[in-house]
Amino acid sequence: MLSAEELERYARHIVLHDVGGPGQAALNRARVLAIGAGGLGAPVLLYLAAAGIGTLGVIDDDVVTLSNLQRQVIHETPDLGMPKVESAAATIRRLNPHVAVAPHATRLVAGNVLDLIGRYDIIADGSDNFATRYLVADACYFAKKPLVTAALGAFDATLTTIRAHERGADGKPNPTYRCLFPEPPPPGTVPACAEAGVLGALAGVIGSMMALEIIREIVGFGEGLVGRLLMIDARSMRFETLRYQWDPSNPLSGVKPTIADLSGHG
């Protein structure tokens, strides 16, 4: 039951035909875990908090540095040196005191990932490295959790939704992350953000779209991004969508799977 204050706070959602009172109530019941409180995690957390997600978890083992502030808008200059999860939690509480925040100041590894994601309804992966992306995607498959995952380059970004534990309308399994990207690139072939740079506002765009996709998944309206990869080119301001499907030879959910657990992740 929404209070009078919450009804006013979420009024612009409630008057939307595709959201309404039931949709807002679903948002208020939802539990979302953000992987990372950086360039993508910052706008995800801000917009999900504003939308009234009931519980927001955030996992990150880093601290706020000056070079973060060009794009990680959930943190401020006085937060320098503070753990990112604590800075993010403080901002969320100021923005919307109705949202419960669960900070996890730790590194996500094979030993803790299933326990952590098991506490949440949907996972938002805004991590900045391939090892974590594959770990999270594999773990969400085993834990039967929906995953909204995005990646950010210097002037480009991608976004998709993974529901690999479910089947599509055609009866075929939904694609896994490994159906889209079978293997991570060799180490050192993709430069890190500190080397290649990143356009700060682009992180805001794709992070906000992650939040939008999560809201759509929770409320249940529109066509989701399962089996579709949204690609953004900020140089030409071009948005394109690539369709992909289940690969019977993928090692996770294929005809002859070779990945049975998370032991292959360091």
- pLDDT, block means (10 residues), the chain with 266 residues: 94 96 97 97 98 98 96 97 98 98 97 97 95 96 98 95 95 95 76 76 97 98 96 97 96 94 88
C-alpha span between 139 and 162 (Å, rounded):
12
Closest CA to 142 of 266, 261, 265: 261
**Annotated catalytic residue: which of 63, 105, 154, 193?**
193
Q: Answer for the pair 163, 226: CB distance below 8 angstroms, yes or no.
A: yes
What pLDDT is attached to residue 125? 98
What pLDDT is attached to residue 172? 92
Is there a catalytic annotation at residue 140? no
CB atoms within 10 A of CB 230: 18
Q: Where are the domains of the chain?
A: 11-243
What pLDDT is attached to residue 189? 66
Upper half-sphere CA count for residue 129 (Cβ side, 13 Å): 12
What's the CATH fold of domain 11-243?
Answer: Rossmann fold (3.40.50)
Q: Give CA separation, 19 vs 10, 28, 89, 123, 221, in Å.
A: 10, 12, 26, 21, 8
Enter the pTM of the model: 0.95
* DSSP-derived secondary structure letter, 51: H
- Type of residue found at 116: L
End-to-end CA distance of the chain: 44
What pLDDT is attached to residue 190? 65
